[in-house]
Every structure is written in structure tokens, then in C-alpha cells.
Amino acid sequence: MIDDKATEIQSIGSQKNPYEHNGDVFENPLFTPNRVTNKKFYIESYGCAMNFADSEVVASILQESGYGATKHFEEADLILVNTCSIREKAELTIRKRLTEFRKAKESKSGRLVGVLGCMAERLKSQLLEEEKLVDLVVGPDAYRSLPALILEAETGQKAVNVLLSRDETYADISPIRLDSNGVSAFVSIMRGCNNMCSFCVVPFTRGRERSRDAHSIVAEAQDLFNKGYKEITLLGQNVDSYYWIDEENNSTITFALLLEKIALISPSLRVRFSTSHPKDITDEVLHTIAKYENICNYIHLPVQSGNNRILQLMNRTYTREWYMAKIDRIREIIPDCGISADIIAGFCSETEEEHQETIDIMQYSKYDYGYMYFYSERPGTLAARRYEDDIPEEIKKRRLAEIVEVQYQLSLQSNKNDVGKTFKILVDGESKKDINFWKGRNDQNKVAVFAKENFPIKKGDYVQVKINACTKGTLLGEYVKD
């Protein structure tokens, strides 16, 4: 799914100059204590939650460089687009937006346009030289160099840094929460990916996997809770492979242990995480989820395909039987666990029978909801080099439509199963459709709405809500007094 946000800073984090990272020192050339400037920046973020979390790191670096934020790009001296390369449609959407910003550049002297993230690394030459859409290009591991790159771009030079790092985690930077609802926040625990799924561009645009130190993660989560946040989502391309050695205490922190450390901050702090790779999620993680009431009973477990041959071509390193056994294990240890998945229709050489096996595994797994796409070949991936993208687009779209219809029925039935039940809901705001209703999510990550009436409820409260009806995407309920 593609989403975009342009937001103003809600709070200001504190940084130091020079930056220190693993013994290296990075000077911020724009840093001046108590610096005041009229310059403003605007960020739009596309793609995954990691990109939105990265934009919060970028906002912190820019704030320290004296830039203020604006939610109107017309006011900005610096326009940045944090990009996604996971599908062709995403790149086309972003190119269109960059073209619009390039035109806007002409209306204000000195205005710069930059691209961040995955597209920056993959398409630097085209964006800078061939299409001349941007003034600076900054990859996911190079955000610390933004101040220097801005100075370079201001001289008329094309500024670029897309070098990947084996150790950058931005652990010492306090993200500035963009467009925060004050209730939920992302906390990045690792970067990069070591899984070489043949369809995926992430290992090439975000680099090798590296885990952030556990102390900084717990400290960030504690700080968020102290500021009134009630829910955090731990982010990584594959959170279950989190692994950090605490040399000071001569111990190893696995993802299960990290989950426990976060859960112990307070019973009032809900903990979520994304994303899991089926091969790495362990019984230790499942038992930790079951042990702590404030670790949400919800797992996003991408399947991608239900056919063993296609899974092998995708380099997913598991079989359909193995995946189904993992689903069984989750439901055994966490009986009421919500489960969602990513699914790709029309991968290279997929037959109708293999497509039907994907539908079959969906029905077996009974996903609460899913993220569904047809295959989009990405240049540079293993699949692009090894396999022919030989499924016609009309067949891809038809298969995707069938998958979407199956998931529609599964989601509807899952929600119908909840009618009559009462759930603990964390209120995160008003309903977008009707301001007379509150909305929030339950433990299984399902959205619930209920009437405000005259109850003394506010955003950030936990409330009991009895579900009376549903749609495929929303639970409809009523507040139940304690």
C-alpha cells in the first residue's frame, strides 16, 4: 500500500554536535547552538513503516540544522520525498510527484528538491542527470550527511550520497514524531535485510542486516511512554532475526528478550512489531507474546505464495507445509492471535494450479486481513536476472482480483466471529467518517468504532467495547462501563 504524509513537527528532540557514531565523528556544518533560521522543510513519505520512521530521523537532523517544518510544500525551502522501490506503481507515483515539485522549485529562489530512501539508491543517475528532477539524492544510510549535502546543493552542485553501511542504525538520534497522534509511535530496532528473496529490492537498497543496541531501544520506548504514548511498534525488515550482543553484561539479546524488556516498561504500554519472516519466528517469541498481556496478539506473517515451486523460485526458504505448521503453532500457543500476510499474484511462470494453492493456503490460514499485489519485476533483483516475467498483466490482475475476493470473505468472517465479544480498545482518535465516534484498535489489530455519547473518554484511554456489528474492515460497537 502507498501512503503519503506531509507533516509539521510536534516536538523537538535534542542532538549534539559533532555527531558521534561507533567512534567516528560527523560534523554538522549547519550546526550553531540556538541557531535561528526562517528556512523550512517539507517531507512526503511513501511505502513501508520503515520509511515513515526514517523521515522522523531526517526531521531530527534537519531541526538540529536550523530548519523548521511545514505541512505546505509551497512554503518550503527544502522539499524531500522519502521513496519506495518495492513496486513499479510506487515509483511511478513518486516520479509524478517529483515532477510537480520540480515545477514548484521555479516559484521560489533557492528552493531545493531532494529524494531520500530506496529510490534514491536505485535511480540516482536518472533522477539527477537524465531527468533532472532533484538537486540532492540521499540513501537510507546517509541521512547524517544531509546538512553537508544541502550546502553542496546550494552552490548549484548535484549532491549525492547513497553509500550503504554495515553499522548505521541511527541509535543516537532522537526521532521527531511527525504527524503524531500522541498515542502510537514507531521504534526502529534494526536496518537492512539478509534474506535474498528473489523478488525483493530491499537488500540492494537498504543493505545488510544490522541490529540496533537494545539499551537505546528500551530508552526510546521508555521516553515515549513518559511522554504519554500508549503503544509502540518495533520495526525491522525481519524483526525476528534481531540479535545484539551486550558486551558490558556478557549477554545476547534476542528478539524475544527485547520484546520482554519493552513489555516490562509498563503494563499500560502496548507493544506491536512488524515484520516477521516465517523461517525466523520462534516458539520463544510466541511464548513471550502469550506471557505478557501488553504484547499484542497479532503477527504479520508474509506467505507470498502457497505453492512450493514458486516459493523456491522466490527463495523464501520454506514450504507450504512448513508455513501451515507455523500457523498451527501460533494458534496453539496464542489461540486468539490475529494473523495477516503479504501475497503476490502472478510470479514468474506461475500456473493456474499454483495460483489455486495460494488461495488454498489463505483459506487454511484464515487471515484477518492481507496486503495483496500482483508481481512487479524490479530491476537488479535476483528474479529480474534469473527468470522471465512471463505472466501477462491481465492474468496477473485477474488472479489478484480472485485473491482479493477470497481475503474479503475471510476478513468479513473473521469480524463476524467477533460480534458479541467485548474487547479492550486503545482509543487513538476520532472516526474519520463521523466525529461523533471514537476509533481504536484491539489486541488483534482490528479497528473498532463506537459512539462518543457523553462518556468521559479521551484519546489514549483504554476502554471496553462490546461489538454489535461489523464490516469487512471495521468492528462496530458500544462502550461498556467498567
Cα gap 272→115, rounded to integer Å? 29
From 415, 441, 471, the end of a domain falls on: 415
C-alpha cell at 142: 546517509
Residue 320 lies inside a defined structural domain of this protein? yes
C-alpha cell at 33: 547552538
- Let me know whether 363 and 225 are in one domain: yes
Following DSSP, what letter does each residue of 301-370 receive, concatenated?
Answer: ---B-S-HHHHHHTT----HHHHHHHHHHHHHHSTT-EEEEEEEES-TT--HHHHHHHHHHHHHHT-SEE
| CATH number assigned to the domain comprising residue 48 | 3.40.50.12160
Q: Which residue range is the domain that position 66 belongs to?
A: 19-161
Contacts of 255 (CB under 8 A, 6+ apart): 239, 240, 241, 242, 243, 273, 285
Cα gap 21→237, rounded to integer Å? 22
From 370, 400, 415, the end of a domain falls on: 415
| CATH number assigned to the domain comprising residue 204 | 3.80.30.20
pLDDT given for residue 131 in this prediction: 67
Regions of the chain where pLDDT drops below 50? 1-36
pLDDT given for residue 26 in this prediction: 38
Cα gap 356→364, rounded to integer Å? 12
- Let me know whether 409 and 333 are in one domain: yes
pLDDT given for residue 132 in this prediction: 81
User: Nearest to residue 230, comparing CAs of 179, 170, 296?
Assistant: 296
Residue 174 lies inside a defined structural domain of this protein? no
Nearest 10 degrees: Cα torsion 459, 465, 470, 474: 30
- Let me know whether 81 and 25 are in one domain: yes
Cα gap 459→62, rounded to integer Å? 30
Amino acid of residue 354: E
- Let me know whether 235 and 102 are in one domain: no
Structural domains of the chain, count: 3
The string of pLDDT tens digits covering residues 250-307 is 999 999 999 999 999 999 999 999 999 999 999 999 999 999 999 999 999 999 999 9
Residue 14 lies inside a defined structural domain of this protein? no
- Let me know whether 426 and 467 are in one domain: yes
User: Do residues 158 and 246 make contact, with C-beta atoms less than 8 angstroms apart?
Assistant: no
Residue 85 lies inside a defined structural domain of this protein? yes
| CATH number assigned to the domain comprising residue 460 | 2.40.50.140
From 362, 383, 415, the end of a domain falls on: 415
Amino acid of residue 331: R
- Let me know whether 356 and 440 are in one domain: no
- Let me know whether 375 and 435 are in one domain: no
- Let me know whether 441 and 337 are in one domain: no
pLDDT given for residue 130 in this prediction: 65
Residue 167 lies inside a defined structural domain of this protein? no
Cα gap 140→191, rounded to integer Å? 9
pLDDT given for residue 30 in this prediction: 42
Neighbours of 268 (CB within 10 A): 12
Distances (CA, A) of 252 to 215, 221, 256: 12, 20, 11
The string of pLDDT tens digits covering residues 424-480 is 999 999 999 999 999 999 999 999 999 999 899 999 999 999 999 999 999 999 999
Residue 254 lies inside a defined structural domain of this protein? yes
Residue 179 lies inside a defined structural domain of this protein? no
C-alpha cell at 247: 558486551
- Let me know whether 332 and 210 are in one domain: yes
Residue 371 lies inside a defined structural domain of this protein? yes
- Let me know whether 410 and 426 are in one domain: no
- Let me know whether 349 and 439 are in one domain: no
- Let me know whether 69 and 25 are in one domain: yes
pLDDT given for residue 34 in this prediction: 38
Question: 202 phi and psi, to 5 degrees?
Answer: -55, -45
